[in-house]
């Protein structure tokens, strides 16, 4: 892949929303500032740049809009801008009052590299409270299939225009103006269903107290409902304050989330950029059949759109991605959002288990407790489910099942937790039975040889599960599964009579990277005793291990992450493969952006500095190869999963839920794509001018 390090190689497109400082009715001055910002946006390699409504003339100039001198100056400005655009990269979308067929229209003029691609008139003209647009303008409602002469050029004119690039940067956008998206059915809704992925809004929008929140709500809602990006630009400094004021609010949204926003009430011009993920938008539309069904219902109106084609190719230089990618897709870095996610996940688990127990007419959860993260969370959930059902916690039957590699630390943690939660605890040493089974199998371990192969491990894992099911039979109980989403994705579990199986698995949709935060959430919630909180924090400090192989002579214990990779990276890979269907090269690109620099972005506050580290592209590539191999090879385990509640939007591998796949699929296509397109080392990027820092994630 050429330019692996460039955002344009991975379905991203850079959008710019501009707020120029203007002078009232001073067209040459407004043009000059527009050109200055256009040059800056071109240098930053923005593909599309939007400017405010009537930005060339000024918005609040009342009856000056009827003056021939002003209107002629506007056309001259457009002519100059068209000529200058020949040397610029982006498509420019500017606001201008234009005459056509005896009327005056409030329009957006779309310009690229020496051509006027099209002119879009405003549909809804506000004439209420402080607005009097119908006094000056003619509505564009119903104007389809027409042409307009602007600056000596013929151009498509109407509300039926879609602008589509046929170059290597394939993007389709639609333009509407201010009041259009305040309407119950904005024009951009139909445009999105007709194929527009980026929706553009040129606005003036004077500011009043609280209005900015409404704008954000409308932009976010429209981008979410239409599964699109929405770029908004409003008038700012220099606009007339005779009766109104202007905050220069510009923002860019993607599928309901704000990617970037300007500082409001800035003194000077502002250039805001955000890198929009067109691949995400396309994946979401492809999956969300309701979007397509609605488009089919409106197919007659969809057919009215004209497509204006233009050529937009990726820049030859490397354009670094300037977008925050969360390191932990299942764990928000924002503390408030993380608390909310933990609250919801914990209560989904509790509600799911409580409902299953009620439906089964069973009052005794049976659970194996190892002292590790997963069984700790499952035991907390089981205890809380008893509270919800008004049953004694002693009904929870918790068993420690020590094997050949069980450490004293985890065993002590397990028993301390059992006592702190007030559940019924018992212990069954599986080693005698395991030795007998290994002897029956004539395994070398039975004759004293230190052979710790998969059979040695699975004999222990299988016995634990076998005991739990037989205990459930004996006690009229229900086996609560403890294996998590990450282990299921990697096949890090024993199939059938093993930890892959249970009667109901409360952790099946919880990623390993989230489990620790759920435990911390409960520990710090105030709902548990100080002793319980102490034990929970002790569990959090324990290294993740299946504890099936005895420690080495050095004392080093069996480490899950040494065998299957860092859970931080593998959860990242899992999320973007299953939630969005991204190709491996894009996943690696995003992973490097998230993990390549320990100082970049924001970490979840609960992760101590000592545990914060970076991963180079070589490491990311290596662990992604392993992930793909294991993910495909272990689908058979997921095809036979027990029930368990879905918890996050990217977090279910149940064959009855988010993920349906054949058990015999081959990973070669994915591995080849990775091998062909991901280099071993990160390429050296060209120097690109800095742009406004943006926020935003998936």
Q: Which of 122, 512, 586, 637 is catalytic?
A: 122
DSSP track, 424-476: EEEE---HHHHHHHHHHTT-GGGGT-----HHHHHHHHHHHHHHHHHHHHHHT
Catalytic residue among 18, 178, 342, 493: 178
Residue 129 burial class via C-beta count within 10 angstroms: exposed 0-12, middle 13-18, buried 19 and up? exposed
From 18, 33, 53, 75, active-site residue:
53
Tell me phi and psi for residue 99, to 5 degrees: -90, 140
Beta strands in 11-152 (DSSP E): 12-19, 48-50, 91-100, 103-112, 115-121, 146-150
Convert 638-668 into a string of H (helix), E (strand) and C (coil): HCCCCCCCCCCCCCCCCCCCCCCCCCCCCCH
* Residues in a beta bridge with 81: none
First to last CA, the chain: 24
In whole angstroms, give the CA distance from residue 181 to residue 259. Answer: 19
CA 227 → CA 171, 198, 280, 634, distances in Å? 14, 9, 9, 33
Residue 122 bears catalytic tag: yes
Q: Are 195 and 162 in contact (CB under 8 A)?
A: yes
Count of Cβ atoms closer than 10 Å to residue 461 Cβ: 22
Whole-angstrom distance, CA of residue 357 vs CA of residue 386: 10
- Encode 621-657: b = buried (16+ Cβ within 10 Å), e = exposed: bebbbbbbebbbbbbebbeebeebbbbbebbbbbeeb
Q: Which residues participate in catalysis according to the annotation?
A: 53, 122, 178
């Amino acid at each position: 892949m050429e330019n692996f390090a460039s955002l344009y190689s991975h379905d991203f497109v850079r959008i710019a929303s501009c707020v120029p400082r203007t002078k009232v009715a001073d067209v040459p001055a407004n043009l000059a500032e527009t050109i200055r910002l256009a040059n800056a946006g071109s240098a930053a390699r923005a593909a599309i740049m939007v400017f405010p409504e009537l930005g060339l003339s000024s918005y609040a100039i009342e009856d000056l809009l009827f003056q021939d001198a002003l209107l002629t100056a506007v056309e001259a400005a457009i002519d100059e801008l068209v000529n200058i655009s020949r040397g610029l990269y982006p498509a420019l979308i500017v606001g201008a009052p234009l005459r056509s067929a005896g009327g005056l229209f409030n329009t957006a003029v779309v310009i690229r590299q020496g051509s006027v691609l099209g002119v879009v008139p405003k549909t809804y003209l506000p004439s209420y409270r402080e607005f009097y647009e119908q006094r000056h303008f003619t509505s564009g409602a119903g104007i389809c299939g027409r042409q307009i002469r602007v600056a000596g050029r013929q151009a498509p004119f109407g509300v039926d225009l879609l602008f589509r690039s046929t170059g290597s940067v394939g993007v389709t956008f639609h333009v509407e103006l201010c009041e259009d998206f305040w309407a119950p059915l904005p024009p951009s809704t139909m445009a999105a269903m007709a194929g527009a992925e980026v929706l553009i809004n040129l606005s003036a929008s004077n500011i009043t107290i609280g209005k900015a929140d409404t704008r954000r709500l409308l932009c976010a809602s429209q981008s979410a409902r239409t599964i699109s990006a929405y770029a908004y630009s409003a008038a700012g400094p220099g606009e007339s304050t005779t009766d109104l004021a202007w905050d220069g609010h510009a923002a860019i949204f993607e599928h309901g989330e704000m990617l970037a926003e300007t500082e409001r009430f800035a003194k000077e011009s502002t250039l805001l950029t955000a890198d929009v993920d067109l691949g995400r938008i396309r994946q979401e539309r492809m999956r969300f059949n309701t979007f397509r069904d609605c488009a089919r219902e409106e197919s007659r109106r969809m057919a009215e759109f004209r497509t204006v084609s233009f050529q937009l190719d990726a820049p030859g230089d490397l354009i670094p991605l300037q977008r925050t990618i969360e390191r932990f897709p299942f764990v928000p870095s924002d503390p408030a959002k993380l608390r909310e996610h933990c609250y919801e996940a914990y209560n989904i688990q509790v509600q799911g288990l409580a409902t299953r127990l009620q439906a089964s007419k069973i009052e005794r959860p049976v659970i194996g407790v190892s002292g590790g993260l997963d069984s700790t969370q499952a035991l907390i959930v089981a205890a809380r489910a008893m509270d919800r059902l008004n049953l004694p916690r002693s009904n929870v039957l918790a068993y420690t099942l020590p094997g050949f590699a069980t450490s004293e630390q985890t065993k002590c943690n397990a028993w301390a937790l059992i006592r702190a939660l007030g559940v019924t605890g018992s212990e069954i040493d599986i080693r005698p039975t395991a030795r007998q089974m290994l002897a029956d199998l004539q395994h070398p371990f039975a004759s004293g040889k230190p052979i710790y192969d998969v059979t040695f491990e699975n004999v222990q894992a299988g016995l634990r599960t076998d005991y739990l099911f037989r205990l459930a039979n004996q006690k009229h109980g229900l086996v609560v599964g403890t294996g998590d989403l990450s282990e299921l994705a990697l096949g890090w579990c024993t199939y059938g009579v093993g930890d892959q199986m249970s009667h109901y698995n409360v952790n099946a949709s919880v990623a390993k990277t989230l489990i620790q935060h759920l435990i911390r959430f409960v520990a710090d919630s105030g709902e548990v005793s100080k002793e319980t909180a102490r034990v929970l924090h002790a569990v959090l400090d324990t290294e993740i291990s299946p504890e099936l192989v005895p420690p080495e002579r050095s004392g080093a214990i069996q480490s899950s992450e040494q065998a299957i990779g860092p859970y931080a990276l593998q959860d990242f890979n899992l999320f973007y493969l299953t939630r969005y269907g991204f190709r491996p090269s894009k996943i690696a690109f995003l992973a490097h952006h998230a993990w390549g620099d320990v100082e970049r972005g924001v970490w979840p506050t609960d992760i101590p500095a000592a545990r914060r580290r970076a991963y180079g592209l070589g490491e990311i590539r290596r662990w992604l190869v392993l992930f793909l191999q294991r993910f495909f090879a272990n689908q058979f385990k997921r095809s036979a999963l027990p029930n368990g509640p879905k918890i996050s939007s990217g977090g279910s591998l149940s064959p009855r839920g988010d993920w349906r796949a054949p058990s015999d699929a081959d990973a070669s296509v994915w591995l080849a794509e990775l091998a062909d397109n991901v280099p071993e080392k990160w390429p050296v990027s060209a120097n690109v001018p800095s742009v406004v820092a943006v926020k935003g994630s998936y």
